[in-house]
Chains A and B, each alone.
Chain A
């Protein structure tokens, strides 16, 4: 399946572009996370990596579909 992934902050630097389209058999956030860590090993250096699906922080068991808005959220630092 093809997922459109948007990245912010240092995650964007690691992934290479604000928006990428990736092809993977992942069905859940957790599976996508594993795939991402293999494809972009520098993500392992981050203190944290949350994945948001449709503008909500999503736990690993959450299913994903191609039309979902999927965003990589490295450590936040607002304020």
Chain B
């Protein structure tokens, strides 16, 4: 299951999507919004996605993960829209026969998503807003 949604993420649904009686492990990563960044209070984060390509890039990551580890089930739900501190931005679940693969695959998926998938977030502070990691250091 690969989902982009502008509604609150149902983490239990993401976990259920990978459940399989052949799996001995389910690994879950939940990315949440922090209330501060670089010593400033975060008001909200605004996410947008180039949706069709975000989905195809996530699929590529899942396919590559399946080559490297024996994955039984994989599910991801990623938010778009406005999120407040404490909210869930992304939930990823991976089920495998044994636990080592589940830790490694789950980490690989979130790490690679953060490098490759066309999703963008803007941090909004009380005194302004900036797109994360967008500009060259001055």
Interface residues of chain A, those whose CB is within 8 Å of chain B, are 6, 8-10, 13, 45-47, 52, 55-56, 71, 73-79
The answer to whether the Cβ of B133 comes within 8 Å of any Cβ in the partner chain is yes
Minimum CB–CB distance from A16 to chain B (whole Å) comes to 15
When distances are taken between beta carbons in the complex, the residues of chain A under 8 Å from B49 are 8, 78
Give 13 A-B contacts (CB < 8 Å), ordered by A residue: A9-B120, A45-B136, A46-B135, A52-B118, A71-B53, A74-B134, A77-B119, A77-B131, A78-B78, A78-B119, A79-B31, A79-B78, A79-B114
Given A73-B50, A76-B114, A78-B114; A45-B119 close (CB under 8 Å)? no
Given A8-B50, A55-B56; A78-B117 close (CB under 8 Å)? yes
When distances are taken between beta carbons in the complex, the residues of chain B under 8 Å from A6 are 50
When distances are taken between beta carbons in the complex, the residues of chain B under 8 Å from A52 are 50, 53, 118
Interfacial residues of chain B within 33-61, with CB under 8 A of chain A in the complex: 47-50, 52-54, 56
Would you call A79 and B135 a contact (CB within 8 A)? no
Which of A55, A73, A74, A79 contacts B131 (CB under 8 A)?
A74
Minimum CB–CB distance from A26 to chain B (whole Å) comes to 21
Minimum CB–CB distance from B90 to chain A (whole Å) comes to 5
User: How many residues on chain B are close to A (CB under 8 Å)?
Assistant: 29
Most buried by A among B48, B52, B121, B134: B134
Minimum CB–CB distance from B112 to chain A (whole Å) comes to 10
Bound CA–CA A78/B55 (angstroms): 12
Would you call B90 and A78 a contact (CB within 8 A)? yes
When distances are taken between beta carbons in the complex, the residues of chain B under 8 Å from A55 are 52-53, 56
When distances are taken between beta carbons in the complex, the residues of chain B under 8 Å from A45 are 135-136
Q: Which 4 A-B pairs have the closest CB atoms?
A: A78-B119, A9-B120, A77-B132, A10-B131
Bound CA–CA A13/B134 (angstroms): 12
Bound CA–CA A60/B119 (angstroms): 22
Interfacial residues of chain B within 109-136, with CB under 8 A of chain A in the complex: 110, 113-122, 131-136
The answer to whether the Cβ of B89 comes within 8 Å of any Cβ in the partner chain is yes
When distances are taken between beta carbons in the complex, the residues of chain A under 8 Å from B134 are 9-10, 46-47, 74-75, 77
